[in-house]
Structure 1
Amino acid sequence: MCSINGFNFKNENLVLKMNKITSHRGPDGSDIFCNEEISLGHNRLSIIDLSEAGSQPMKSYDGNLVIVFNGEIYNFKELKRELADTYQFKTSSDTEIVLAAYQKWGKDCVKKFNGIFAFAIWNNAKKELFLARDHIGVKPLYYFWDGKQFIFSSEIKAILEHNLPRILNREAFNHYLRVLYVPEPLTMFEGIRKLPPASRAVLKGQKFDIDVYWSVDGDSYLPGSNREIALELEKKVMESVRSQLVSDRPLGIYLSGGIDSSVVLDCASRVRDKIDTFSVGFKLSNKEQAEKFNQDFYLARRTAKHYGTNHNEVLLNTDDVADMLEKMVWHLDEPISNPTAISMMKLAGFAKNKADVVLGGDGGDELFGGYERYRMSVVSDFWQKFMPKIARDSVSCFSEKAKKMDTAAGIDRFSLFMFQKDNILQRVVKEDFLDKKTTRNFFEAEYFLSVGKIFR
């Protein structure tokens, strides 16, 4: 990963401070670009084109455009061939592809990209700053805008290098208590926001506009029989993994032993012979507890053996938790209730010695309905469709689970299955600080009413 930093005025010392506090994101180089209208900073982790020519901030061949880019464009080779007649390339990097694409297609360049990215491009001729974030929001992009001062970065801590008030966003705090993370576009800091996934923005003078360039078609399903769909899905996953194996640096895979990371490994093993895999377990004195909490760790070991990988293991002990807790919180910038955060930090620190790029299975459960609450939602649909209401009402009198399954699809069911409950929150939060409706209203407006239909 890299870090991108910047703001809409000239201050070399301040952009250097932003670079310094995010230097952990890019150990291979750091530089800035400043003129009277803009300051841009970048910390580089070299993945494609390791030469100095790939350093950032990068200018277009005519000097008009300047980019700071974090991410990877998987289809950069195809785009380079398409753009060869209209752009004089100086590097082999995917960063320059973004510059060339923007020069030809303007803000619609993002519709051409297959990848993960967050970037900002300064157009000196138009005196305009263009920013964009990838389709799913893998790469982070935060900003502050008060109508005059615009600041952006890959991390909140860099924005806080500016003299800004540090005020808790109470709405964001309420959302966190309910869903255990802060949904975009909010952050825990009043005035600092996330650029949403699949969004692009233009800053020109005192005007800042954001629009969405892509959305999921909720009515788009793979056609065919179950077997045909399975084969098509396998093909798409294989294509996705293959495209992400392009790297000029060592590459590995986080292997948990679960289905998702094992699928990634299976796909990678079809096109690569030597693969480094990495797993984390827990060093516990109680043998019974060690067996219980290391089931995935042992399964990952067996999976790695099956595929013949160069398997690497690291153990997390109680002292590690105490030593790494503060560091983990510092890196997160704002809280997210992820019980694996410390163990993944331990694993990442270990893997860094052997690989600069690591694939994993994160997001598989969310994408393919891997959690029990997703299955229960499907069961609820069948329960309401095929069971007469009088029978449902009778069973609900004796069963709390049956009562839950009778909840209507939409925000009611979503809040029942996904939100932390009042009786739990009231133990740790004062009543006057806990808004019972704000998160429900937020999710209903953002994800249900806004699409004009009910999500199930």
Structure 2
Amino acid sequence: MCGIAGIVSASVASSVDLRSTIRHRGPDGEGIFNAPGIQLAHTRLAILDLSPNGKQPMQTADGRYVIIFNGEIYNHHDLRATLTDRYVFRSTSDTETLLYGFAAYGTAVFKKLNGIFACAIFDTVTRELVLVRDQFGVKPLYYYQKDGLLLFSSELKTIAAYPGVDKSIDYPALVNYLHFLYSPGMQTPFQYVSKLLPGHYIHLPIDEPQAISIKRYYDLPFRGTYSEQSESQLLEELDERLFTAVKRQLQSDVPLAFFLSGGLDSSLIMAMAKRAHPQERLTGYTIRTAFRHGKFEGFENDLPYARQVAAHLNIDLVEVDADVDIVRDFDRMIYHLDEPQADTAPFNVLNICREARKNGHTVLLGGTAGDDVFSGYRRHQALTMEPFLNKIPPVVGRLLNRTINLGANDAPLLRRLRKLTAGMGQPQQERMADYFARLPIATNHKLFERTIGHTLHDHQPRHQLLTALERIPNEKSLLNQLLFWELSYFLPDHNLNYTDKMSMAVGVETRVPFLDTELVEFSTKLPPSLKMHGRTTKYLLRKVAERYLPSAVIYRPKTGFGTPLRDWLRSGQLNEMLKCYLSEESLRQRGIFDPVAVHQLIRDNQNGKLDATYSIWGLMAIESWFRQFVDSGHSTL
């Protein structure tokens, strides 16, 4: 894992060091490559081949190709075996394997990779640059293009800090952040900065920057055809494929450990690692919250389950105090996230990674994406209600939703019922897309200052999801359509973004075994009933887990990294910050949001008329982002 950045320009500003904003991603070394019209910068977190032979930028022996690379290629030994008769390797690093793989196969090499990666490869002969991002978007890559200047980086802050970039705001993206709590797809808050989509690469002749082209090299294979093998046969295959995925990702020349929340996914990854190394003393990290008993805001304390798994597998468990000082850490979190995401889970990822790094563990494996690949969210269970909702006349459905809205906002069950019935009377796929919404779109649009708001009425965030279904026309399973959205948007633009940014903030690499390419492709061919059986999510995965874990862990209620955000906003630690960031004076100076509408939203949330807690958090995140990325260039946190 590393940080990468680069400039393509007729005149590269020699006074700018692109590495200054990404040094936290690579504390073990750095390098730079310069040629007319291009600069490539790299900061290194050494994982494979710790010797100087692994340093970057790295060039082929003949000097033709130059690479800067962030990530891990888990099948690089297999790829290297196809190249050894043509090239002499100087290192054992996967970077060199990818470099010569590109020399041999060109962009076709990307389809051969099983890993997590974002990289830039420059051909010094043809003067062509290729930028690529892995199949599922585990590793981030941002790029800016305007007036003959191309900037790219692992982090948006690099681009924001570059002199003279156009920081015009993309207001529809701000709608997205309030609607989803993240911005799906390419959009960022900056009009001229985009995210390279997962499974895509950019090709650019650097002497003709206007000739840039973006191509898809991989797409999720949801084709509506499923395996005809028996459940028992598929159970065996899933067991072995998951084991193979974990075993692949244990390769490391530095100490590694594991996230262990006590949930099914992280516990099963831990169990597979123990199966691979039964005699090795493994280490898991978990969060110890201040809320150690019972439930709060619908979350259940994970710690007892993590302890149970640790005892069952005979592994060391490090309990990390949540240690969330929300006022102290809020701006720092937004700075590292690069985007105004509204979630509290990043705090826990950061705390665990900081403790792991202190203990000498540079790599952490976790259970991220288990829910997205095999089903696991409440919105997946909500699909069981669709046959009934389809039979309710629209007028009755709207009346039902209004009746439910009269209930208390504090009750988690009522909040879920409100979301379930919010789309009553709409076509089914539109209703499903609204499972991802945090705020009614009409309310969202009204939050904006009138002039801006008039330009936003045609922007419907769910349209991106609905249009994406055109890529999988033969997939009729509603569950698989939802999982397609999870893997295409929620996972890369939300979960994977904060996992990468928070871990790399302290120089830790995170790995995601559930996103092994072969495992994901196998999952798309599973009969949907083996993913969700009735209301039992991850049905077949739970059957695999029965071979390794206690039943109480396998069949426990779904939870997550939780914090008492609603209490914080109403009267707790965040209340004074809210009054400052969303004061009438602050909002009027910013000129984007209507103070009257924002304060009405806050009152409606406090009075229980609607649940806008995370949208209000999102408004604060947007203000924090502006202060750090727009007002003063970029933060120096």
Task: Give the TM-score normalised by structure 1.
Answer: 0.90
Alpha-carbon distance between aligned partners in 2 of 1:36 and 1:62, rounded to the nearest angstrom: 19
Residue matched to 1:140: 140
Check the 8 A contact 2:371/2:377 in 1, yes or no.
yes
1:229 aligns with 2:234: yes
What amino acid sits opposite 2:284 in the alignment?
T
Q: In structure 2, what is the equivalent of residue 277 of structure 1?
A: 284
Deviates more, 1:425-434 or 1:6-15: 425-434
What is the identity, as a one-letter code, of the residue corresponding to 2:367? G
- What secondary structure, in the 3-state scheme, does the structure 1 residue paired with 2:358 have? coil
Residue 199 of structure 1 is matched in structure 2 by: 200
CA positional deviation for 1:450: 4.9
Structure 2 counterparts to residues 134-283 of structure 1, below 5 A: 134-146=134-146, 148-162=148-162, 163-204=164-205, 205-206=208-209, 207-219=211-223, 220-272=225-277, 273-283=280-290
Tell me which of 349, 353, 356 is aligned to 2:362: 356
Amino acid at match of 1:408: P
Q: Deviations over 1:167-190 (max 9, x none)?
A: 221011111111110112111111
Decide whether the 8 Å contact of 1:411 with 1:448 is kept in 2. Answer: no
CA distance in 2, matches of 1:155, 1:414: 29
Tell me the distance in 2 between the aligned counterparts of 1:301 and 1:290.
20
Q: Contact 1:410–1:448 at 8 Å: present in 2 too?
A: no
Aligned-partner Cα distance in 1 for 2:384–2:367: 24
Query: Are the equivalent residues in 2 in contact too, given 1:411–1:444 (CA < 8 A)?
Result: no
Which letter does structure 2 place at the counterpart of 1:344?
A: V
* C-alpha displacement of 1:367: 1.9
Contact 2:31 2:57 (C-alpha < 8 Å) held by counterparts: yes
String of CA shifts for 1:107-141, please: whole Å, max 9, x gaps: 11101111000000110011100111100000011
- The change in CA–CA distance for 1:250 and 1:243 in structure 2 (over 3 A counts) is same
Query: What is aligned with 2:23?
Result: 23
Q: In structure 1, what is the equivalent of residue 101 of structure 2?
A: 101
Residue 308 of structure 1 corresponds to which residue in structure 2?
Answer: 314
> Partners in 2 of 1:394 and 1:409 — Cα distance?
16
1:408 alignment partner, one of 427, 433, 455: 427
Tell me which residue corresponds to 1:121. 121
Are 2:468 and 1:447 aligned?
Answer: yes
TM-aligned CA deviation for residue 222 of structure 1: 3.5
CA distances 1:24-67 after superposition (whole Å, capped 9, x unpaired): 00000011010113101000000110000100000111111110
3-state DSSP of counterpart to 1:277 = strand
- The match for 1:58 is 58
How many Å separate the matches in 1 of 2:374 and 2:339?
27
Map of 1:306-455 to 2, 5 A cutoff? 306-318=312-324, 320-354=325-359, 355-380=361-386, 382-383=387-388, 389=391, 396=397, 399-400=400-401, 408-416=427-435, 418-422=437-441, 425=444, 429-430=448-449, 433-434=452-453, 435=456, 437-440=458-461, 442-444=463-465, 446-452=467-473, 455=481
Amino acid of the structure 2 residue aligned with 1:177: L
AA of the residue aligned to 1:2 = C
Residue 382 of structure 2 aligns with an amino acid whose one-letter code is M
Q: Give ranges in structure 1 of 5+ residues lacking alignment.
A: none
- Structure 2: unaligned runs, 5 residues or longer: 402-416, 483-637
Tell me, what secondary structure is at the counterpart of 2:276? coil
> Which amino acid is 1:44 matched to?
R
Q: Assess, with a 3 A threshold, how the Cα gap between structure 1 residues 176 and 254 changes in structure 2: closer, same or farther.
A: same
Contact 1:33/1:57 (CA < 8 Å) preserved in 2? yes
Q: What CA distance in whole angstroms lies between the structure 2 residues aligned with 1:395 and 1:230? A: 43
Greater RCO, CA 8 A, separation 6+: 2
Sequence identity (%) = 31
Q: Counterpart of 1:129 in structure 2: which amino acid?
A: L
Q: Partners in 2 of 1:89 and 1:75 — Cα distance?
A: 16
Per-residue Cα deviation, 1:329-359 (whole angstroms, up to 9, x for no partner)? 1101111222211122111111112310101
Q: Is contact 1:281–1:314 with CA below 8 Å preserved after alignment?
A: yes
Using the alignment, how far apart are the partners of 2:395 and 2:33 within structure 1? Answer: 70
| Counterparts of 2:363 and 2:331, CA distance in 1 | 25
Distance in 2 between the 1:8 and 1:424 partners? 42
RMSD, matched Cα: 2.7
3-state SS of 1:63 partner: coil
Deviation of 1:421 (Å): 1.9
Per-residue deviation, 1:290: 8.8
Opposite residue 59 of structure 1, the aligned amino acid is Q
Figure out how many residues of one structure are paired with residues of the other and give that number: 448
| Counterpart code for 2:173 | A
The residue aligned with 1:46 is: 46
Give the whole-Å Cα distance in 2 for the aligned partners of 1:34 and 1:145.
20
Deviation at 1:229, TM superposition (A): 2.3
Please give the TM-score of this superposition, normalised by the length of structure 2.
0.66
**Whole-angstrom CA distance in 1 between matches of 2:127 and 2:395:** 68
